[in-house]
Amino acid sequence: MEKDEYAWFASRILGWIGVDLGEYKRPQMERRLTSLRQRWNCSSWEAFFELLRRDRRVYQEFLDKMTINVSEFYRNPGRWEVIARRLVPRYLGLSRPVRCWSAACSTGEEPYTLAMILMEGGLIPSRFDILATDIDETAMERAKQGIYRTASLEHVPSGVKAKYFDRLDEERWAIRPVVKQRVTFRRHNLLADPYDHGFDLIVCRNVMIYFTEEAKTRIYPKFRESLVPGGILFVGSTEPIFQPERYGFRVFDTFFYEKTGLPQAPPGGRNRRPSAHRAMRAAPVPSDGPASEILAQPGGSSMLRFLTAGESHGPELTAIVEGLPSRLPIQSALIDQELRRRQQGHGRGGRMRIESDRVEITGGLRFGKTLGSPLTMKIRNRDWENWKTKMAVEGDPPPEAKPVTKPRPGHADLAGLLKYNHDDVRNVLERSSARNTATLVAVGAVARQLLMPFGIRIFSHVVEIGGVEAERFPQRIEDIAGMAEKSPVRCADPEASARMVEAIDQARRDGNTLGGIFEVVALGVPPGLGSYAHPDRRLDGRLAGALMSIQAIKGVELGLGFAAARLPGSEVHDEIGYDPSVGYTRETNHAGGIEGGVSNGQPVVVRAAMKPIPTLYKPLRSVDIHSKEPFQASVERSDTCAVPAAAVVGEAMVAWVLAASFREKFAGDSLEEVRAQFDHYMDMVSRR
């Protein structure tokens, strides 16, 4: 049988190069190596093993498949900022050199980034050293050369690039000796080799996710022993440590863990992982007035809620978030990052060239942490300078503030006029404008920062624009997210992405607009959010309502969605299994992570359909509200396609709903109380 052959292959690899494939998650690793074996036309695992021994090229590809050599400088810049802001000042006060370890360093971008951050923070080169290790010696040889392509430097600050890199040609950069000399490269197998000691900082990112839970329970204690008292372990954004106190760590910052006293034994003496995160093995199907209030619970819960206000061309947009626990770290840079993502995407209009959104937090935060009081945020409208007279807050209307009397089809114009008894369409369109989604994104970015310490990650990708559908998706969830961010339309299928761009360009030439469909995926959602007991507390209902609250969204589906109506039950429902080593399992995720209105521990997958933007440069017919004469509808500055931006807004609303449901499930006035409830619940679930 194939599984027996793979086990034989794994045993031979262990005896040959000392790498234990049994320590890696089998479904992922077997799938990756099977594709490589088939590409080299090997009919069996035995034949593949013999080829590995004979052909150095195949052996190198095998190592690449196994070690996932994907990296870039300053990957996730906000996380590196924690080192610059919180750790470097600590290191400056040491009387000895600082020792760091970049474990699983791949091609060297990570240790070199660390070296540059330490030097930029004021540490002279002789006051620190960095050990960089990896199992792939070829990757480390590339690292030692220190030559990188332009794409790898995308997130490097311009001043740092000028200081530490030399440009070789249009596509290549060489890192300068002052950086290279602080990094020592050495081959090391995290699963088998002994660990050095005395490190102030260990950076091990985006590799632990590939190991089995059993392997992790052996590696984390080794990392702890390698650290000095108070030393820090920095992990990747997809691999948070749940219940870090079991291993002798405490949360220092998001994805940073500080060495504390002795590890705490888990209740009952068992060290099993929560079932919420076992279920992440299953991949998702590729698959009204001047202010508005959204409550965490439609029935009126005040646990977590927000309020927004402001007009599109007014002085500023405002958002107030109530119900956050105290002592929660909030970074305005991470909010700004999401605001920038909302403004991007092929097909956006002229307003995006005017605005450069940045948040200003004016209440509820002190020294970077929440106080438990309402959090207040402002986003200034730069275009207000051009509208001060026509959008004045006080006084009488000036002559130039001529009323807009031609409601546009597809907008809230006419319905809003009738509802609020206005005689100027501008009184409606200023608030109903999608400009106000900036506040939704800011609120969602705060929600994400509440969810991140508990391992919940959210991303989106576009699956259709103007009838062009994405068909080919990467197998790994992480690759879908990464490829979507590199696409001008946030589509993870490169061929479909190019055709979507062409369709948008043609629509612009035609004076038309295009809609589409985007998918939002939430990883690490624990089971038990929402409720089957009351309709207004169903998680799926809340998600649908939140996404439908976004301008231009006309349809929402979860998991298979409407496709489930066309299939027999045997092809729709996700069968349940049980593996003693990992707990409950699912081979599919057709339900989209929600059953009976309750999250079931699998990834939450939801899609939303966006209609074409109704403001057309070839206007549709309308009627003047005063004369009742037919006219061409008025034209406001508009986008040709905003589906990529809507996907970012969709992420924000999914993050908000999950955070609100999370707060209901895990109440507490401080972050420590919330974490204690979360840890207790997840430990209880893990023993079921």
Distance CA 656, CA 529 (A): 13
Please report the pLDDT score of residue 605 as a whole number.
95
| Contact indicator for 514, 612 with CB cutoff of 8 Å | yes
Q: Does residue 448 sit in helix, strand or coil?
A: helix
What's the rounded Cα separation, in Å, for the pair 235 and 649? 27
pLDDT at residue number 376: 97
pLDDT bucket at 71, cuts 50 / 70 / 90: low
Indicate the burial class of 361 (C-beta count within 10 angstroms; 0-12, 13-18, 19 or more). Answer: middle
Give CA–CA dist 582/213, Å, rounded: 8
Q: Both tokens of residue 154?
A: 């995308």
Burial class of residue 344, CB neighbours in 10 A (0-12, 13-18, 19+):
middle
pLDDT for 184: 96
Q: Which phi and psi (to 5°) does residue 207 adopt?
A: -130, -35
Give 256-273 pLDDT, tens digit per residue.
Answer: 999 986 665 443 333 333
Spatial CA neighbour of 317 closest among 344, 284, 292, 349? 292
pLDDT band at 590 (very low <50, low <70, confident <90, very high): very high
State whether residue 201 is helix, strand or coil: strand
Using pLDDT thresholds of 50, 70 and 90, give the confidence band for residue 558: very high
| 321 C-beta neighbours (distance < 10 Å), count | 24
Provide the 3-class DSSP secondary structure of residue 558: strand
Q: What is the pLDDT of residues 288-323, one digit of tens each?
A: 333 333 444 333 334 899 999 999 998 999 999 999
3-class secondary structure, 236: coil
Model confidence at 466: pLDDT above 50: yes
CB neighbourhood size of 535 (10 A): 11
The answer, yes or no, to whether residue 162 has pLDDT greater than 70, is yes
Q: Are 362 and 378 in contact (CB under 8 A)?
A: yes
**DSSP calls for 594-634:** EETTEE-SSPEEEEEEEPPPS--SSPPEEE-TTT--EEEPP
The residue-averaged pLDDT of 436-441 equals: 94
User: What pLDDT, on the 0 to 100 scale, is given for residue 306?
Assistant: 95
Residue found under tokens 């809003």: 416
The count of other CB atoms within 10 Å of the CB of residue 12 is: 17
First to last CA, the chain: 32
Of residues 127 and 207, more confidently modeled: 127
Q: Tell me the CA distances in angstroms from 427 to 242, 402, 430, 463, 640, one per residue in order.
A: 50, 12, 6, 35, 24
194-217 pLDDT, tens per residue? Answer: 999 999 999 998 788 667 777 888
CA distance linking residue 470 with residue 420, whole number of Å: 42
Q: Which amino acid does the sequence have at 23? A: E
Residue 199 in tokens: 């490190």
What mean pLDDT is reported for the chain?
85
Give the residue with greater pLDDT, 95 vs 116.
Answer: 116
Which of 37-41, 133-137, 156-160 tops mean pLDDT?
A: 156-160
Distance between CA atoms of 278 and 285, rounded to whole angstroms? 18
Torsion of Cα atoms, 211 then 216 then 219 then 224, to 10°: 140
Report whether pLDDT(146) > 90: yes
* Range among 94-98, 514-518, 624-628, 676-680 with highest mean pLDDT value: 514-518
Measured CA to CA in angstroms, residue 507 lies from 461, 502, 516, 529, 643 at distances of 21, 9, 13, 42, 14
331 phi and psi, to 5 degrees? -110, 120
Higher-pLDDT residue of 524, 297: 524
CA gap 550, 352 in Å, rounded: 18
Percentage of the chain lying above the pLDDT 70 cut = 86
Are residues 423 and 403 in contact, defined by beta-carbon separation less than 8 angstroms? yes
Q: What is the band of 76 on the pLDDT scale with cuts at 50, 70, 90?
A: confident
One-character DSSP codes across 302-360: EEEEEEEE--TTSSEEEEEEE-PPBT-B--HHHHHHHHHHHT-STT--THHHH----EE
Token readout for 91 is: 């290191």
Cα 193 to Cα 203: distance, rounded to the nearest angstrom: 17
Q: Could you tell me the maximum CA-CA distance found in the chain, to the nearest angstrom?
A: 88
Gap between the Cα atoms of 234 and 678, Å rounded: 22
Q: Is 609 helix (H, G, I), strand (E, B) or coil?
A: strand
Measured distance CA(61)–CA(69) in Å, rounded:
11
* Continuous segment of H or E residues that includes residue 451: helix 437-451
Burial 585-617 (b: 16+ CB within 10 A, else e): bbebbbbbbbbebbbbbbbbbbbbbbebbbbbe
Q: How do strand 199-204 and strand 249-253 relate by DSSP bridges?
A: unpaired
Does the pLDDT at position 638 exceed 80?
A: no
* pLDDT over 50 (residue 276): no
Q: Which helix (H) or strand (E) holds 67?
A: helix 56-67
pLDDT higher than threshold 90 for residue 681: no
Select, from the ranges 185-189, 430-434, 677-681, the one with the highest average predicted confidence (pLDDT). Answer: 185-189
Phi-psi region of 421 (alpha: psi -120 to 50; beta: other; left: phi over 0): left
- Any bridge partners for residue 577, and if so which? 585
Q: Which helix (H) or strand (E) holds 591?
A: none
